[in-house]
Amino acid sequence: MLPYEEKERVVAFIHLEAQLADEARYDEWEALWSDQANYWVPRRDGLDPATQVSHINDNRARIATRVAQLKTGYRYSQEPASPMRRLVSNIEIEPLDESGYRVASNFLLLELAVQSTNDLHLWGGRVTHELERAGNELKMRSKKVVLVNGDEPIPNLAFLI
């Protein structure tokens, strides 16, 4: 069993990551990543990312590009940023390597497309975070988001999912 305080720390990280994404706090969100990173949104679970095209399959450099584009003020698909709130639940934590964690969770996200239609979009899926310790902090090594509807026609996914 994970010590209670350690579990609370991991859960707090997951909640913080969700909050920074919801609030378009791009720099703070980017700072959660470790130097080696993979931000991955496959079309569905079980596909090989080497050959099957994904919605997002960013390495650390492309995460930086994604954030830089969002910050230009001209990323029209997120200008202004979608008001968002996500609920995170069903959190499962397992140890990974020496000092890291693999954290699985479900999410439900409300996104308001204020850039164009003002439609309210409902997103949901299963997220797997891989976290590592960096000194006294936790950092994200990977985030995989399997959307319920990722292999269907979906609206813009230009925000941080």
Partner 1 sequence: MNSVKEGIDFSELIQDDRIHGSLYTDADIYNEELTRIFYNGWVFVGHDSEIPESGDWVRRNIGEQPVLMIRDKTGQVQVLMNRCTHRGNLLFTNKAGNDHHLLCPYHGWVFDADGTLLDTPEAGGYGKQFNKPDFNIPKVNHVDSYRGFVFACAAEEAITLAEHLGDAAQLLDRVADMSPSGEIELSGGWLQHRFKANWKMLPENDTDGYHVASTHQSFVMATSSQAPDYVGEDSLPQVRDWGNGHTEIDFTPGYRKVDKTFEWYGRLSESKVPDYIAAMEQRYGKEEARKKLVDGPPHAIIFPNLFLAEMNIVYYYPVAPDECVQVYTPLYLKGAPELNKRTIRQTEGAVGPAAFLLADDVTIAERTQIGLRAHGSDWLDLSRGVDREEVDKDGHPVSHLSDETSNRAFWNHYKAVMNQ
- The pair of structure tokens assigned to 153 is 């026609």
Nearest to partner 1 of 138, 140 (CB atom): 140
Query: Whose Cβ is closer to partner 1: residue 142's or residue 156's?
Result: 156
102 near partner 1 (CB under 8 A): no
Give the HSE-up count for residue 92: Cα atoms under 13 Å, Cβ half-sphere. 6
43-72: contacts with partner 1 (CB under 8 A): 43, 47, 50-57, 62, 65-66, 68-69, 72
Question: What is the rounded CA–CA span in Å between residue 2 and residue 27?
Answer: 30
CA–CA dist 136, 108 (Å, integer): 30
76 vs 124, beta carbon nearer partner 1? 76
Residue number with CB closer to partner 1 (4 or 74)? 74
Phi, psi of 64 (to 5 degrees): -65, -40
Residue 90, interface with partner 1 (CB under 8 A)? no
Q: Is the peptide bond between 95 and the residue preceding it cis, with omega within 30 degrees of 0?
A: no
Which amino acid is located at 140 in the chain? M
The minimum distance between CB 89 and partner 1, in angstroms, equals: 24
H-helix or E-strand spanning residue 14: helix 4-22
- Say whether residue 106 binds partner 1 (CB under 8 A): no
Least spacing, CB of residue 42 vs partner 1, in Å:
10
Distance CA 84, CA 113 (A): 9
**Binding region for partner 1 (CB under 8 A) out of 14-22, 28-36, 42-50, 87-95:** 42-50
| Interface characters, 118-147, with partner 1 (x: CB under 8 A) | -x----------------------------
Q: Nearest CA to 54 among 65, 66, 67, 40?
A: 40
What are the residues binding partner 1 (CB under 8 A)? 41, 43, 47, 50-57, 62, 65-66, 68-69, 72-78, 115-117, 119, 151-158, 161
